[in-house]
Every structure is written in C-alpha cells, then in structure tokens.
Amino acid sequence: MSTYMLLGGGTAGHVNPLLAVAERIREQEPGSEIIIVGTAEGLEARLVPERGFELHVIERLPLPRSLNSQTLSFPRRFNAAVRDLRQLIRRRGVEVVVGFGGYASAPGYEAARKENVPIVIHEANAKPGLANRLAARYTPYVGVAFTSTRIRNAHLVGMPLRPEIETLDRAQARQRAISHFGLNPSKPVLLVTGGSQGARSLNLALSSAATEITDLGWQVLHIWGERTEIDAPDVADYHVLRYCDRMDLALAVADFAISRAGSATVSELAGLGIPSLLVPYPVGNGEQKYNAQDLVAAGGAKVVADARLSPEWLSRNIWPILRDPSEISAMGGRASNAGSLDGTEKLLALVRNAQATHGTVERR
C-alpha cells in the first residue's frame, strides 16, 4: 500500500477536488495512508477532519507579491515549512505528492522536489495560481480542468467532483428534487446561485425581475446566501433558500442556471449538461472570467460582466432563451459535450503514472 501526501486548502475550489481524490483513494486502496497538508485558517481545517482524514497543519504562507515586513520574514518561514514537510515525507515514507494549489502547496512542492518524490499538480482554474505555475517546471504530471489553461506540461483531466455530483442521474433524481424543494412538477426551474455566501448583484437583479420570470411560466430556485441584506421577493413560484445542503438535488432539477463562474461550478454545469448564464466574480485576480471561456466558446453558456447584470439586460438577452425550449435543449447538449464527470479518475491515472514512472527510474 502507498502513502500519499495531498496539498491544498483555503477555499472550496482547492479543498473539494482534493477531498474528492482523497475519498477515491481511500475507496480503492483502503490500506493506503493519506496525509493532507493545509493551514489552520482554511476551509480544510474543518472539512478534512470531518471526512475522517489526517490533517498536517503548516503556517499560512502567501507568496509575497510586494515588499513589506512579511516579505522580509518569508524566506525563513518558508524554509521552516519545507524542513517540516521533508521530515514528514521521510518519516512516513510518502511516495507521491499531489498538490491542488493554495497556501500549503508551495512548501509541499519544494519539499517533494528536494526529497526526490514525484509531484502531481491539479490546476482547477483557467488562470493558474502562482504556486502551481512555479512547480510545473519540476514535473511533467500537471492536470488541468480547462482546455484554455496555460501552464507547462498540461494534461486535460477535468475537475475532480464530489461523488454525489459525479454519479448524479438528473432524470432519475428530478422527482425527488421537486419534492425536496416543494416545487411545481409541471414548470421548468431556473436555478440561481452565488455560492454559500450569496452574490448581491445576482440577488438584486433576479429578485427585481421575479414577476417577469414567473410570468414566463418558470419557477425559480434561488440560493440566496448567508450574507444578503436585501429582502427576498414575495412572489409565487419564487423559492428562496438561505443555504442549500443538497446541491446535487438543486442541479438535478435545474433546467437553466444563473451562477458565478467558480471552477467547480462551471465544471458541474458542463458535466451535467445544464445550460447557464455565468456571472464571473469581479474581485480577485479575475480567474472566474477565464473559467467561463471554454463553456461559453462551446455554446453551452452565456456570460455577462457583474457590472452589466440587470433586469433590463436579462430581459434582452436571457428571457428569449427561456421562451425557447429547443435552444435550451441545444445549449444543454453543447454544455455536456464540453464537460466531463470523470475528473477524479483521470487525475488519479496521472498519479498512478507518476508513481509507476518514478518507481522505474528509481530501480534503474
């Protein structure tokens, strides 16, 4: 049996694919050891122990991008983290390191390189993060979620998805989803989501158009988010949830989606063949704008800048699509052709290749 070290954390975009891979390894190799390296501040601090995995915590170490006091102390703190992880690799006999980006990845990549342990990288965003870009110079095993991702040694593997999404049969689950959310089985469903915290621009634009949407004969399942200050609309067939703990059922029942363009969300919509309007989050390094590109180019989604989203824009550009079932069906087919649901297996195939090749080299 093997010992795996998985690196990553911070946001759901790093943690969820990491956990999908960890769970698949545990399922296929119950005797193997899995060590997950993360920080005490990231989402992994809660989710990794909840899923029953070992978490090795290191200091949160953002790679410096400007000169300040943190920059001056960075080399010392980074080298300390590398030493810690090198000792862990040797002590536990780690055979392969798999990184997903985030603050924990950079020292883990460096420790693996110095210990001559094969490195496998997964880059979830179309615009690669700095840690993954730097580490890609040292390994040929780089998996990406999008064809447009520009990083050295890229292999298209797709996104490792949660098992409940990867195995979702939308047609079979639809009736259960309708009952779960209290929806009308005779009306199509528009799913709106800005993530667990919500997206004010989506909430404002869609709620302002609530009557217009329902007059089209649609019903809305709107995942409002937990940090929303505006009032939800009091309109029949407009269903608002502060939080949704069954996103698999929400996706099962969606005939069209309006959503942010996080890498996992885009991958889920494409893999499940759900036509969509993507509204990239305008803050940060702009990765969501790039995440949307492949699906939009394939014709499976539309995209609009956050600042342009309004009831008027929706009326001109999206409501005509909702009036046309044939266009919705065609968009769904194009989305499905652009996506996949087997990212976990494809990334694991890259891991197996790295293990086998490294073992061959070591034996020579």
Closest by alpha carbon to 145, among 160, 132, 131, 130? 160
Closest by alpha carbon to 35, among 8, 63, 73, 75? 8
In this prediction, residue 282 has a pLDDT band, given cuts at 50, 70 and 90, of confident
Question: What H or E segment, with its residue span, contains residue 154?
Answer: strand 154-156
pLDDT of res. 126? 94
What are 339-353's pLDDT values in tens digits?
999 999 999 999 999
Dist. CA 80–CA 68, nearest whole Å:
20
pLDDT of res. 197? 57
Residue 8 has pLDDT above 60, yes or no: yes
Question: What H or E segment, with its residue span, contains residue 240?
Answer: strand 238-241
The fold of 164-338 is Rossmann fold (3.40.50)
CA-only gyration radius of the chain, Å: 22
In terms of C-beta density within 10 A (0-12 exposed, 13-18 middle, 19 or more buried), how is residue 155 classed? middle
What predicted TM-score, i.e. pTM, was given to this entire model?
A: 0.92
DSSP annotation of 40 reads S
Do the domains 164-338 and 3-161+342-363 match in fold? yes
pLDDT of res. 361? 43
Give Cα 19 to chain centroid, integer Å: 11
- Residue range 3-161+342-363 in CATH 1.20.1600.10: no
Number of continuous H segments (helices) and E segments (strands) in the chain: 17, 13
Dist. CA 168–CA 252, nearest whole Å:
7
Closest by alpha carbon to 17, among 354, 290, 348, 355? 348
End-to-end CA gap in the chain:
22
Dist. CA 291–CA 276, nearest whole Å:
13
What are 293-327's pLDDT values in tens digits?
999 999 999 999 999 999 999 999 999 999 999 99
Residue 65 has pLDDT above 70, yes or no: no
Closest by alpha carbon to 84, among 110, 63, 48, 103? 110
Specify the 3-state DSSP secondary structure of 119.
strand
The residue extents of the domains of the chain are 3-161+342-363, 164-338
Closest by alpha carbon to 210, among 234, 231, 230? 234
Residue 286 has pLDDT above 90, yes or no: no
In this prediction, residue 9 has a pLDDT band, given cuts at 50, 70 and 90, of confident
Residue 204 has pLDDT above 50, yes or no: yes
